[in-house]
Amino acid sequence: MNTSSFPWLIVLTVLPLVGALAVACLPPAAEALAKRLTLAWTLLVLVVTAAIALGFDVNAKRFQYVTSYPWISQFGIRFGFGVDGIALVMIVLIAVLMPVVILASWHDGRTGTRSVKTFFALMLALESTMIGTFVSTDTFLFYVFFEVMLVPMYFLIGSFGGARRQYAAVKFFLYSLVGGLFMLASVIGLYVVSSNAGHPSFAFSDLAKLNIDPGVQKWLFLGFFIAFAIKAPLFPFHTWLPDAGAAAPIGAAVLLVGVMDKVGTFGFLRYCLPLFPDASAWFAPVVVVLAVIGIIYGALLAMGQTDMRRLVAYTSIAHFGFIALGIFAFTTQGGTGAVLYMVNHGLSTGALFLVVGFLIYRRGSSNIADFGGAAKVVPWIAGVFFISGLSSLALPGTNSFVSEFLVLLGSWANQPVATVIATAGMILAALYILLMYQRTMQGKLNPDLPEMNDLSRREAVVIAPMIVLILALGFFPKPVIDVIDPAVKATMQDAGKSDPVPTANSGGRK
């Protein structure tokens, strides 16, 4: 199947877009039909993704399902598609999250200023562009998806979001666009470098072979890095995320924090490290410092939040610090841990956002102070809330523990000081999650709480796969690690890094 020339990835990218057009063409009154069609469509995409994932051969060469067609031949731009292990786990994550999110958003479209079908069409368009960023192997094509991805998200936040949706939508768009334009400057720079080296090309495989002058590398790296650091977001480029995360409708927030932000960390691995190895090494200390600041700062600010959605957004900033630390530690364990973290964070934060969404739907408020003792009223919701929270704080037995442990293990060899500080972040994580749980679920029952029903059947279907995956990946992460590992090894090889050999006495020489 891998050797077949059928363009599976193009089909996968275009399929949700076709669905989006179909949903957009429905009459505005057909709300139920729009929802059902969207759900069916995302399940179809899940099936195609599953087929692709099953056909992926872990032991074969890094990029599979490779297809490439000329697009703008004057600039050597091609429709280049292909997946490696890293991209594969990300598209699987997208495909799994989508139906969950659609089902969770069943009543969301109605709160907006535009029709319900628009909401679902935008969600499908977003899925298409997100898949596109992960499966494109042409740097230019990646940039195109990277930018176009903003448009559906902008309208999702701006038209269907909460109280400060305008402010949040514009801030989100401008931050990302500015980052994207920095990247554009670097993409143009890459074009010049590659045309000076022979024929212009944007294909990742061609660019990775270039030997770019270290001085030039630094500038090109910076352009990509700023774009990805804003996207990820890394401290101090993060201020848009709490606003966007708090204002977005829950479904869009899950995708924003769960998947879209991973494009940034994915970009570090796919583009920054292999294309600019010298510059990556040169900038690594700075990035690691930013990552560690992000871990501590994100955690401290999360503790101070009074709004659950902002709290979850701030926890993500801390988690992205871990991911960046793992990537810029330049070890295979660190890199694999970071990629696994990307997946796990999508699941645990996704679950957390979904449960918070259930609570907001019932209470009409996301303020922590508006709850209190709610576990007595809605024990099932409290239960899934607790499990999602434990996953977010990386308790052993949940998925996040494996990835966080791998990241710390991998970065210890090259960045011991940063690793020690980052470990403190784990303690803070326990604090912010448990404090939130305590204040909302336990203690005296808040007399202002309205009548609340426990988990509905639809909500149970929404949250069940998330909980199952959280526990399953906590106990048996091997299949995912097996897929990720070869791609990370290849990335580190491209970056010219080999793993330091651990020695028994390295810690005890004194």
Binding site for other proteins (CB under 8 A): 70-75, 113-114, 143-144, 147-148, 151, 155, 158-159, 165-166, 169-170, 173-174, 177-178, 181-182, 184-185, 188-189, 191-192, 195
Residues whose CB is less than 8 angstroms from the CB of residue 198 and which lie 6 or more positions away in sequence, other chains included: none
Q: How far is the CB of 216 from other proteins (least distance, A)?
A: 10
First to last CA, the chain: 56
Output the smallest distance, CB 271 to other proteins, in A.
17
6 backbone φψ class: left, alpha, beta (φ>0; ψ -120 to 50): beta
Comparing CB distances to other proteins, the nearer of 27 and 479 is 27
Shorter beta-carbon distance to other proteins: residue 16 or 335: 16
Specify the residue, 185 or 430, whose C-beta has the smaller distance to other proteins.
185
Contact between 66 and 83 under an 8 Å Cβ cutoff? The reply is no
* Angstrom distance (rounded) from CA 11 to CA 162: 34
Residue 178 C-beta: closest distance to other proteins, Å: 5
Q: What single-letter amino acid sits at 417?
A: V
Cβ nearer to other proteins, comparing 170 with 293: 170
Given a contact cutoff of 8 angstroms between Cβ atoms, the answer to whether 341 and 232 are in contact is no
Q: How far is the CB of 70 from other proteins (least distance, A)?
A: 8
- Tell me the CA distances in angstroms from 185 to 76, 182, 188, 216, 277, one per residue in order: 17, 5, 5, 12, 19
Q: Which is nearer to other proteins, 84 or 138 (CB)?
A: 138
CB 169 to other proteins: min, Å = 7
Indicate the residue among 170 and 434 with the shorter CB distance to other proteins.
170
Q: Please confirm whether the linkage preceding 233 is cis (ω < 30° from 0).
A: yes
Distance of CA 52 to the CA centre of its chain: 20
CB of 181 to other proteins, least distance (A): 5
Tokens of residue 287, six digits = 């990035």
Q: Which residue has 């990556």 as its token pair? A: 280
Minimum distance from residue 201 beta carbon to other proteins (Å): 13
Least gap, CB of 182 to other proteins (angstroms): 7
| Residue 81 CA neighbour count, 13 Å, CB half | 21
Distances (CA, A) of 114 to 6, 155, 172: 38, 10, 20
How, if at all, do strands 77-83 and 64-72 pair?
antiparallel
CB of 170 to other proteins, least distance (A): 6
Closer CB to other proteins, 226 or 381, in the complex: 226
Q: Is the dihedral of CA 410, 411, 417, 422 positive or negative?
A: negative
How far is it, in rounded angstroms, from Cα 270 to Cα 273?
7
Smallest gap from residue 310 Cβ to other proteins (A): 21
Contact (CB, 8 A) for 426 and 300:
no
Residue (72 or 417) nearer to other proteins, CB:
72
Provide the minimum distance between the beta carbon of 138 and other proteins in the complex, in angstroms, as a whole number: 12
Q: Judged by CB, which is closer to other proteins: 18, or 417? A: 18
Which of these, 9, 16, 150, lies nearest to 80 by C-alpha position?
9
Distance (Å, whole) CA 489 – CA 497: 9
Nearest to 486 by CA among 57, 53, 3, 55: 57
Least distance in angstroms from the C-beta of 47 to other proteins: 28
Q: Are 123 and 105 in contact (CB under 8 A)?
A: yes
| Cβ closest to other proteins, residue 177 vs residue 435 | 177
| Residue carrying structure tokens 């099936």 | 47
Identity of the residue, 31 or 499, whose beta carbon is nearer to other proteins in the bound complex = 31
Which distant-in-sequence residues (6+ apart) come within 8 Å of 247 by Cβ?
A: 157, 161, 162, 163, 164, 165, 167, 168, 169
Closer of 178 and 431 to other proteins (Cβ): 178
Backbone dihedral region of 76: left (phi > 0), alpha (psi from -120 to 50 degrees) or beta? left
